[in-house]
Amino acid sequence: MRLLKLVPDDINIPFMSFRKVFLTISALAVAMSLALVFVKGMNFGIDFQGGILIEVRMPQAANLSQMRGQLGALGLGEVSLQEFGNPADVLIRIGAQDGDAAAQQAAVSAVKDALGASVDYRRVEFVGPKVSSELLIDGVLAVVVAIIAMLIYIWLRFEWQFGLGAVMALTHDVFLTLGMFSLLGLEFNLSTVAAVLTIAGYSINDTVVVFDRIREDLRKYKTKPVPDLLNGSINATLSRTLMTSLTTLVALLALFFLGGEVIRDFSFAMIFGILVGTYSSICVASPLLLYTNVAARARGTGDAKEAAETP
């Protein structure tokens, strides 16, 4: 039986020859992402901003101008309307009201009275300012703790040089994902944090596969130039890397186009993260090993077997 192969067995792409280009592009992309996050900011969802979110389905295509006028006259502060999936579905966002839960419920009741009984209220959520602030802090903390835990894991399993390269590539993926959300103005909420954590797990798994092959080759080929060795290790795992990424993308694209608006931003974050994570495992994490003298210690153990093809 013939197995599906995305790349030929004898492929030999000289990735290390372009390492400076890859690292320069990545550094610029990270810098631009950070600039976007700090200058333009993030479009935080209700999870992190606090307020009231109401999802409604109108009996016919919604007239947003009319609805905005009706709700603006209620004196509830800033009111934002957005079509949600189809012209009859609308997301209503209202800032948190002064007072306790009763004040928030009163605002919801006022909206229902203004829109009438013919409207189908599909979702009503409220997050207070204090809770939203705690959720934001917890979300950032979850990402930071995950990255630190992965650094420790890679450090213990391999060498500190591998751990440093993996975490820098992982941080690269997270920053680029945040920058893309800021650039496009996509809503950043708890689901997006979950997507970022999932991306981190996927990316580190992909990187570990490549690193495992590099460590094995470092012990096996004692005198082979490190750039050539890294090229060989990456090319040897390239088919597996691409196959895993493509099969994951098939499922994510189905979610993005068929899963509805509720999970669209989550699906987009995952798709972008998988693409960036695959790139960073090959073009960021591995080239960084050249600048940390990884071969000195890794080649000090293992069998002293020379490769016949060593120049």
CA proximity to 34, closest of 168, 227, 180: 180
Residue 310 lies inside a defined structural domain of this protein: no
Query: To the nearest whole percent, how much of the chain has pLDDT over 90?
Result: 27
Instruction: Please report, as a single letter, which amino acid is at residue 251.
Output: A
Residues 254, 130: Cα–Cα separation, whole Å? 36
Residue with tokens 């976007």: 36
Return the minimum-mean-pLDDT range out of 157-161, 166-170, 263-267, 305-309: 305-309
Q: What is the mean pLDDT of residues 24-51?
A: 90
Residues 243 and 170 in one domain: yes
Residue 141 burial by Cβ neighbours in a 10 Å radius (0-12, 13-18, 19+): exposed
Residues 104 and 146 in one domain: no
More confident residue, 111 or 49: 111
Q: CATH number of the domain that 265 lies in?
A: 1.20.1640.10
Residue 302's pLDDT is: 43
Q: Which of 108, 127, 146 is the last residue of a domain?
A: 127
Residues 105 and 169 in one domain: no
* Average pLDDT taken over every residue of the chain: 84
Residues 119 and 136 in one domain: no
| DSSP structure class, residue 121 | E
pLDDT in tens, 212-253: 899 888 888 888 888 999 999 999 999 888 888 999 999 999
Residue 303 lies inside a defined structural domain of this protein: no
Residues 118 and 191 in one domain: no
Residues 105 and 202 in one domain: no
pLDDT band of residue 268 (cuts 50, 70, 90) is: very high
Residues 119 and 205 in one domain: no
pLDDT in tens, 131-174: 677 878 888 898 888 888 888 888 888 788 888 888 899 899 99
More confident residue, 153 or 78: 153
3-state SS assignment for residue 41: coil
pLDDT in tens, 208-221: 889 889 988 888 88
More confident residue, 310 or 268: 268
Residue 7 lies inside a defined structural domain of this protein: no
CA proximity to 203, closest of 279, 290, 255, 148: 279
pTM: 0.78
Q: Which of 127, 153, 174 is the last residue of a domain?
A: 127
Residues 116 and 174 in one domain: no
Residues 292 and 145 in one domain: yes
More confident residue, 1 or 38: 38
CB burial readout 103-116, b (16+ within 10 A) else e: ebeebbebbeebbe
**Count of domains for the chain:** 2
pLDDT band of residue 271 (cuts 50, 70, 90) is: very high
Residues 193 and 269 in one domain: yes
Residue 303's pLDDT is: 42
Residue 206 lies inside a defined structural domain of this protein: yes
Domain that holds residue 232: 15-44+132-298
Residues 268, 255: Cα–Cα separation, whole Å? 9
Q: Which of 81, 107, 127 is the last residue of a domain?
A: 127
Residue 307 lies inside a defined structural domain of this protein: no
pLDDT in tens, 50-67: 788 888 999 888 888 888
Residues 39 and 56 in one domain: no
